[in-house]
Structure 1
């Protein structure tokens, strides 16, 4: 199993162009640019809320709009009127709800002293999960890509790709998957970001729920499911 995981990670290292085609930008381990080209941790957090049930291309357009208006920081969002923000983020799904949630989140982060203080908190995940609209995957994504905290987000793509490639199935429980994969994958910031970006990319482009494109998938030689279909 460990040998297969290592080969899997090496394959992920070789698909940089694939990752970039869907908005992941592998650079140095601590860069926020992994996350859709985000320029700051603030932008990671803002877009982590906006991208929920919304396409990344729409979020990129909205982020550029926020940048032009100076609304791409936690401080500026905290001081924004939610109704005005909802107009600015027009195009994202549930924009009025997301505007309210973003303002509340930004204000709560500001109250505790900003992102640096949040990064130092021993209960970062609990803090994030207590924010309206922040679920476990979003919380772990913010921790990994904005705060550089070693934690692995688990998406539906993660479950589908790893269950097919490795033949594992810890069940539907998020934390069971998280524990299983964090035990298997080397604990390294670059690797965690690479794995998350790669499984989402492969899940979107090849490892489809129905009629997966196994013959075109970069993991076809490693994948138990793909080999079983031959």
Structure 2
């Protein structure tokens, strides 16, 4: 059974600081043991401040490989692109600009299915394992219980025989890592912020909750899952 460890932050700013320090510490621990550290990052609005702070950390970024856990099938200059968000935060100016970013191929390929296949090939080569094993998997949690682009009521959470798949939400195709890859990570970290996430967080922590309703429950790594959540998200716990 998956064990969850919660770090409570006092507010969104404290969450961003704690998350950036935690990720930085894990990267340094990994690089103390191996030549490279491979991390998968989430999109969305919650981690943007975290990435800006993390990008200023003085760690050996040239030995860090960065991948997105999911991406919209849009061009990298589209305002909804997660890659664009990373370039404007993590990679904008500080030491993290030295990291190696392996972007998800999108509209330069024929369709989202081709992009998903290309991403699967890339991460398999990058991690040299099946399933690909990331050192750090940073995830968000949606109000509906989704994580990455594994949305309830869609086929994406059910995909267990491939490392990537295509999902669809709000009129846009999305390329996403699948549950087996999310679960294979050595350290999984959820960032959860806001009162609107209280119900989803309670469902994630509930051992009786069905993954059909809360796909984030599909993330079941061998090690403890770390949840960094602010006071609004954990109110009433």
Q: Is the shorter-chain TM-score for this pair beyond 0.5, marking a shared fold?
A: no
TM-score, with length taken from structure 2: 0.29
Higher strand share: 2
TM-score, with length taken from structure 1: 0.30
Structure ranking higher on relative contact order (CA contacts 8 Å, 6+ apart): 2
Higher helix share: 1
